[in-house]
Structure 1
Amino acid sequence: MTIAENLTLSPADTRQGFYDRLSEQSLAPLWEVMKGLVPPEPKPSMRAHVWRWDTVRPLALEAGVLLTAEEAERRVVVLENPAFPGQSRATDTLYSGVQLVLPGEVAPAHRHTQSALRFMLEGQGGYTAVGGERVTMGFGDFVITPSWAFHDHGNDGDDPVLWLDVLDVPIVGFFEAGFSERHNAERQPIGRPEGDAQARFGSGLLPIGATSPYGLTSPSFSYPYARSHAALQAMAAGAPLDPHHGATLKYANPLDGGWAMPTIAAWMTHLPSGFSTAPIRSTDGLIVAVAEGHGRLRIGDQTLTFGPKDVLAVPNWTWRSFEADEDCFLFVCSDRVVQEKIGLWREETR
């Protein structure tokens, strides 16, 4: 007798009854969920969205009236994608928010396994200290806080400073590998002069036998906007623009030319006035901070307008194109670096 002949069902047995018995044993039928587990192509769950600066800024400043930086530890208005309410996610895999530090304040020193980046949006006199070195942040600067590096923030200026935070919190959370620790002092000791990392790693020169004190993260943790801006302008003037990317340069680790961070890819795009990018889609969802310029993002069947300091969420595997009404400089980041490392990242153009 075959197994099939031996497994006869009585009229009382049903498929649902079988499923119920599976469930009682913490089992499930693959054939009922297989199409969702291995879809023919990605089906984005995040939504396109724009957080407008003229809305976010006054709310962030109001938070400064309600509580101190010490009370909050980090006074941040979280940018929550409408698809993920209450989950602190701007994209499927990245957290983002706008942080406020008022004049004279210090956001206390701590460290965590999550990697972070800062993109400066407003104010003078703001600084961050990373691993014993302080760096003053100017508008449009890209600053890295490596995984497990002590860091504190402050404001020696006369006006509030605000910047965009992006962290790999959802990625670390997926692996349940998050740790954090408070420093025993409000400000960490400074052991190197400001500009030390820039001198060693950020000028096209490298120390002999150079290694990063931050593991897989770039040892040059500050990338000034003035330098990026000038490079992109020269690039746009020197050769035809890429039809899909305009003039785009990635923030690179000077030791190997790879991405500056191991879990968050970051780059800057310049679109001259009147330029429109041809449609493109990729498997990484994007966070886009507008440094300069007005324009439009066409994403799927939606059109979102944007202006200076607005922040956009751009869903993965959805056709997108940008149109610049004036010279635009866009800071962009995503989980592309992670996808590349495990062989998943894909891009399609038309």
Structure 2
Amino acid sequence: MNTAVATRQAPPARAPGRQDFYDRIKPMSLTPLWETLHALVPREPQTPCVPAIWRYDEIRPFLMESAELITAEEAVRRVLVLENPAIPGRSSITQSLYAGLQLIMPGEIAPSHRHVQSALRFIVDGKGAYTTVGGERTTMYPGDFIITPSWAWHDHGNEGIGGSSEPVVWLDGLDIPMVRFFDAGFAENDDAKAQKVAVSEGNSLARFGHNMVPVKHDHRSPTSPIFNYPYARSREALATLQRQEAPDAWQGHKLRYINPLTGGSPMPTIGTFLQLLPKGFAGKTHRQTDGAVYSVVEGRGTAEIGGQRFAFGPRDTFVVPSWAPLKLSADDEVVLFSFSDRPVQQAIGILREAFLDEA
């Protein structure tokens, strides 16, 4: 794993004679704003997070080793958390987001539970595992983007396909740090290890995935009624754009996943995206306040983040902290999945991004 060092804004020099005043007001739980104003209201974002990359080929042996140490049922979720190296111990990849790589072995079940945190899984390696959300099961394939809505029962299993089973790994993304910030976390374990499947596989996609919706559907939920966005469909959309349009100079061909009922994000707290960089793409620099986590689906290339270069390949994960300049390039044709806290920043009106022109 490679990292870059974050820059810090130094506080103003403390004038003599003030410390006695600070010491006397401290027992009253008072502090002087002028000593911290520079940090509380900075001229521009001053994230403690740093750019980093997790190379899948280096991590996979440890995932497999973890399967020998603990079962999926005992662990509840067998995950290696991707911690931002600048904020160790917080189980966070950015200030607002959690990410981890989860493994489920053939024949295992990760037991049913629910929590108020919204979750996504992006399938990285292997096929044939399933997830059941709210009584509907879906089989998972590499590149599929799957949602677990807030407070929805969900369990996972690995029965394989056609009698053939293999380990399956996916990238978990949750709004755990956000929920923790609000002290609003609840969770509950199910009485049964696995839910009873009550809806045929593909039901939600059939009902909501074709620009149509059942007439009597109650659409008040802020989460998309589709919980599996298959990679084959998303990849086809990118290929069509590639044939018909020139790539954006900064982001190539980039699409956002949507809630088909609202046009907004599939989840109220996490935005998700898929983009294609043509072979030989050399992007311009851009930056945005929503720190983002990227998973490499196809191809090899380079991400220059905050002035540091990270070469990436299939199944690698890298993080771009808030307001860090990002420049993407592609050696091969590259497909990237990413997620960020953009919906929250848009909702409260603080999102800012800049597309920088360079000679």
Contact 2:251 2:328 in 1 (8 A): no
The CA distance in 2 between the partners of 1:221 and 1:82, in whole Å, is: 31
| Map of 1:346 onto structure 2 | 352
Percent identity over the alignment? 51
8 Å Cα contact 1:69-1:75 kept in structure 2: yes
Which residue matches 1:25? 28
Q: Which residue of 1 aligns with 2:232?
A: 226
Supply the distance in 2 between the matched residues of 1:42 and 1:150 (Cα, whole angstroms). Answer: 37
The Cα offsets for residues 260-306 of structure 1, whole Å up to 9 and x where unpaired, read as 11000001010010012211000011100000010000112200000
**1:287 touches 1:333 (CA, 8 Å); kept in 2?**
yes
User: 2:141, 2:79 → 1: CA distance?
Assistant: 19
Give the Å deviation of 1:44. 2.1
Give 1:60 shift. Answer: 0.7
List gaps (5 residues or longer) in structure 2. 1-15
Q: Which amino acid aligns with 2:300?
A: H
Match of 2:178 in 1: 171
Instruction: Give the one of 123, 140, 145 matched to 1:142.
Output: 145
2 CA distance for matches of 1:325 and 1:199?
Answer: 37
Task: Give the one of 202, 206, 211 matched to 1:199.
Answer: 206
Q: 3-state DSSP class of the match of 1:228?
A: helix
Counterparts of 1:209 and 1:123 in 2: how far apart (Å)?
38
Q: Which residue of 1 aligns with 2:40?
A: 37
2:84 to 65, 74, 81: 81
Query: What is the TM-score normalised by the length of structure 1?
Result: 0.95
DSSP 3-state at the match of 1:96 = strand
2:96 is equivalent to residue 93 of structure 1:
yes
Distance 1:45 1:14 in 2: 31
Shift of 1:210: 3.0
Asked if residue 182 in structure 1 is aligned to residue 189 in structure 2, the reply is yes
Partners of 1:34 and 1:68 lie apart in 2 by: 48
TM-score by length of 2: 0.92
What is the rounded CA distance, in whole Å, between the counterparts of 2:216 and 2:261 in structure 1?
A: 10
The partner residue of 1:265 within 266, 271, 292 is: 271
Give, in whole Å, the separation in 1 of the partners of 2:333 and 2:293. Answer: 19
| Aligned-partner Cα distance in 1 for 2:34–2:269 | 34
Provide the rounded CA distance (Å) in 1 between the counterparts of 2:218 and 2:286. Answer: 36
Contact 1:211–1:255 at 8 Å: present in 2 too? no
CA distance in 1, matches of 2:129, 2:211: 26
Three-state SS of the structure 2 residue aligned to 1:229 is helix
Distance in 2 separating the partners of 1:256 and 1:225: 21
Q: Could you list the runs of 4 or more consecutive aligned residues of structure 1 that deviate by over 6 angstroms after TM superposition?
A: none
CA distance in 2, matches of 1:73, 1:273: 41
Larger radius of gyration: 1
Q: Read off the aligned partner of 1:176 and give its amino acid letter.
A: D
Question: Which ranges in structure 1 are unaligned for 5 or more consecutive residues?
Answer: 1-12
> 1:211 Cα deviation (Å)?
3.0
The Cα of 1:14 is off from its aligned counterpart by 3.5
Please report how far the alpha carbon of residue 212 of structure 1 lies from its aligned counterpart in structure 2 after TM superposition. Answer: 4.0
Following the alignment from structure 1 to structure 2, what is the Cα–Cα distance between the partners of residues 137 and 177? 30
**Amino acid in structure 2 at the alignment position of 1:321:** K
- Residue 58 of structure 2 aligns to a residue whose secondary structure is helix
| From 328, 339, 343, the counterpart of 2:334 | 328
Matched with 1:274 is: 280
Quote the residue 2:65 is aligned against.
Answer: 62
Q: Give the CA deviation at 1:209.
A: 4.1
